[in-house]
């Protein structure tokens, strides 16, 4: 009761202050803080956050703890009230950032965080606590492949605006990555049984934390939507193929994350582990020493092992597709018994509605050196890559995007992420009596730096989170950006609430199937069209 009174008094003071003559926009919404502010319970103890714009913010709450390469466990309880005001540690990275490209860093505006292996932390944004309400929960999983990234890496993924706009609860997590998350030591004892997929087990533990605790934060544990972008989208796919995660989430959104069609098999992951141990001079008898090896040495051994095994697979004609052999989930016969697109996995997740899509120019940043190229220079590049199919390629691109005018529009259309999204959507739509699929393509072009960043990888994030103000470096902060963010974030909110992204502010978004191939295009003018790039993808695939 005392906490509620303090919050009421603080909010009343803000309202009175807002009415003061001369009050300006810059002075709005002061942060409400204090030892008795925003206090609620978790299974491990009380936590306190802060209030901003009417949203309760909590950051860096432990959702689990784990010794290196061991399964996550419930965090040790604490006494008193745990301060949870700032983001927690991020997983250590194999290649930590020591220098950046100035302009690109300006656009992304990263928060690199601080590394620590004790990184199992969860963040929560909610409109209310301890109020008995059952708000939909949006569970965000960050990108960076399976090797890098964090929940706080990009300003666009701050959950405050989305929580406020939709009266929803937004959560995000940090978890183990790279060698820490995926070194398969299962052949070396029960202690390391789950080590091949420690990272995925961490995510399951975070979902369990949500299931147990989110009601205290005003959320509904029976209405959880997992969503992620890039590697986060791939993690969404992985969780959908994980039997022990079934029931912990109810809807899924995959943003630019369908770049993997298979997971590594156990024979390969155990071979990688064997090479790691060899590099570290560790064997089955002294295996526990691997828990004490400095991370830098472990990471170096892991990189060496990946290279050795990748070269061996290539000689055997078994080279993995996608981005090559790297750290990531595997079919371990335990947590992940099936390939993610296997019939068993697809059937297991058939009741999960799926929203899936990509951005038009995923890898525009790779073409930065060509952004000022003339049409003659672009055609020369196309001729070099596609040979006698060059003219057919140009015609196919112009057919799909007839209004494009920049020469580089011909070369930076995405051919890696979207074909995978179409493949997954077709598989999902084919499951008998399955939940609906909704397909999108984000076409909107950023005006930043003369427009050369276009709709590149991650560009949709400020629109999903309704965080244009926090992401002006990426979006330009234009009125068009704000307008599209209002529509797009409302789609994510509607989907989280009822499994359907439609709302009054957009054209009707039909359910996707292989016959209508209905695709919602997010742009200054939103439209719905059938798949327009099928012939283009077939041409590009045949040209390789």
389 with 298, same domain: the answer is no
Determine the distance from the C-alpha atom of residue 329 to the mean position of all C-alpha atoms in its chain, rounded to a whole number. 15
**Does some domain include residue 55?**
no
424 with 287, same domain: the answer is no
**Does some domain include residue 459?**
yes
**Does some domain include residue 164?**
no
In SS3 terms, 485-509 reads as HHHHHHHHHHHHHHCCCCCCCCCCC
**Does some domain include residue 68?**
no
- Which of the residues are catalytic? 230, 362, 457
CA distance 544 to 540: 7
317 with 421, same domain: the answer is no
**Does some domain include residue 358?**
yes
**Does some domain include residue 460?**
yes
CA distance 263 to 254: 17
Q: Quick one: what percent of the chain has pLDDT higher than 90?
A: 87
Q: Is pLDDT above 90 for 18?
A: no
Looking at per-residue pLDDT, the higher value among 424 and 21 belongs to 424
DSSP string, 217-236: GTEEEEEEEEEEETHHHHHH
Least confident of 158-172, 179-193, 290-304, 368-382: 368-382
pLDDT band at 321 (very low <50, low <70, confident <90, very high): low
**Does some domain include residue 382?**
yes
463 with 314, same domain: the answer is no
Determine the distance from the C-alpha atom of residue 250 to the mean position of all C-alpha atoms in its chain, rounded to a whole number. 17
Give the mean model confidence (pLDDT) for residues 142-152.
Answer: 96
322 with 372, same domain: the answer is no
Give the mean model confidence (pLDDT) for residues 338-355.
Answer: 96
531 with 438, same domain: the answer is yes
What residues have CB less than 8 Å from 285, skipping those under 6 apart?
none
320 with 361, same domain: the answer is no
User: In which element (H, E) is residue 345 found?
Assistant: helix 343-348
Please tell me the total count of domains within the chain. Answer: 2
What pLDDT does residue 370 have? Answer: 76
456 with 388, same domain: the answer is yes
Closest CA to 146 of 369, 325, 331: 325
Closest CA to 171 of 118, 213, 199, 133: 213
Going across the sheet that includes 45-48, the strands are 39-42, 45-48, 81-83
**Does some domain include residue 314?**
yes
Give the mean model confidence (pLDDT) for residues 480-507.
Answer: 98
Domain holding 318, by residue range, is 264-331
Q: 58 with 52: CB under 8 angstroms? A: no
CATH number (domain holding residue 499): 3.40.50.1820
303 with 420, same domain: the answer is no
427 with 362, same domain: the answer is yes
What pLDDT does residue 318 have? Answer: 83
Alpha helices in 370-478 (DSSP H): 375-386, 390-400, 417-430, 461-464, 472-475
Q: Is pLDDT above 50 for 97?
A: yes
367 with 479, same domain: the answer is yes
Q: Quick one: what percent of the chain has pLDDT higher than 70?
A: 93
- In sequence order, the β-bridge partners of residue 32 are 51
What pLDDT does residue 28 have? Answer: 59
281 with 393, same domain: the answer is no
Work out the number of other CB atoms within 10 angstroms of the CB of residue 419: 20
Closest CA to 44 of 172, 209, 204, 174: 209
């Amino acid at each position: 009761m005392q906490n509620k009174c303090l919050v009421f008094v603080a909010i009343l003071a803000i309202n009175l202050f807002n009415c003061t003559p001369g009050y300006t926009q810059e002075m709005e919404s002061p942060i409400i803080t204090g030892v008795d502010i925003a206090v609620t319970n978790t299974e491990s103890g009380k936590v306190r956050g802060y209030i901003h714009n009417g949203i309760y913010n909590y950051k860096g709450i432990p959702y689990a703890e784990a010794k290196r390469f061991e399964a996550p466990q419930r965090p040790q309880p604490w006494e008193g009230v745990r301060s949870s005001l700032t983001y927690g540690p991020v997983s250590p990275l194999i290649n930590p950032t020591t220098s950046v490209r100035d302009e690109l860093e300006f656009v992304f505006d990263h928060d690199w965080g601080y590394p620590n292996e004790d990184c199992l932390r969860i963040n929560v944004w909610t409109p209310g606590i301890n109020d008995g309400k059952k708000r939909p929960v949006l569970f965000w999983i960050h990108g960076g492949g399976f090797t890098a990234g964090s929940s706080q890496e990009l300003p666009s993924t701050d959950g405050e605006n989305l929580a406020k706009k939709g009266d929803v609860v937004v959560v995000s997590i940090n978890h183990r990555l790279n060698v820490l998350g995926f070194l398969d030591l299962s052949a070396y004892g029960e202690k390391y049984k789950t080590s091949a997929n420690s990272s995925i087990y961490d995510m399951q533990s975070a979902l369990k934390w949500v299931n147990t605790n989110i009601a205290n934060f005003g959320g509904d544990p029976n209405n959880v939507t997992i969503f992620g972008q890039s590697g986060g989208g791939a993690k969404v796919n992985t969780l959908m193929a994980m039997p022990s995660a079934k029931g912990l989430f109810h809807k899924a959104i995959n943003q630019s994350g369908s770049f993997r069609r298979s997971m590594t098999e156990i024979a390969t992951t155990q071979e990688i582990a064997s090479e790691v141990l060899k590099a570290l001079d560790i064997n089955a008898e002294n295996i526990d020493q691997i828990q004490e090896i400095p991370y830098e040495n472990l990471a170096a051994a892991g990189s060496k092992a990946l290279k050795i095994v990748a070269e061996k697979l290539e000689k055997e004609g078994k080279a993995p597709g996608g981005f090559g052999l790297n750290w990531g989930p595997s079919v371990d016969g335990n947590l992940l018994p099936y390939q993610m697109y296997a019939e068993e996995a697809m059937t297991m997740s058939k009741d999960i509605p799926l929203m899936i899509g990509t951005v038009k120019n995923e890898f525009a940043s790779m073409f930065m050196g060509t952004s000022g190229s003339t049409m003659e220079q672009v055609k020369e590049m196309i001729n070099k890559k596609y040979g006698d199919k060059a003219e057919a390629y140009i015609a196919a691109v112009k057919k799909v995007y007839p209004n494009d005018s920049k020469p580089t529009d011909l070369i930076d259309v995405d051919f890696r992420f979207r074909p995978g999204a179409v493949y997954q959507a077709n598989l999902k739509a084919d499951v008998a009596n399955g939940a609906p699929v909704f397909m999108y393509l984000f076409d909107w072009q950023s005006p930043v730096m003369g427009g050369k960043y276009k709709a590149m990888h991650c560009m949709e994030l400020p629109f999903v989170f309704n965080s244009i103000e926090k992401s002006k470096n990426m979006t330009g902060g234009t009125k068009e950006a704000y307008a599209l963010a209002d529509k797009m974030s409302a789609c994510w909110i509607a989907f989280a609430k009822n499994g359907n992204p439609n709302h009054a502010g957009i054209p009707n978004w039909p359910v996707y199937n292989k016959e209508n191939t209905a695709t919602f295009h997010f742009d200054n003018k939103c439209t719905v069209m059938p798949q327009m790039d099928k012939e283009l993808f077939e041409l590009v695939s045949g040209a390789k």
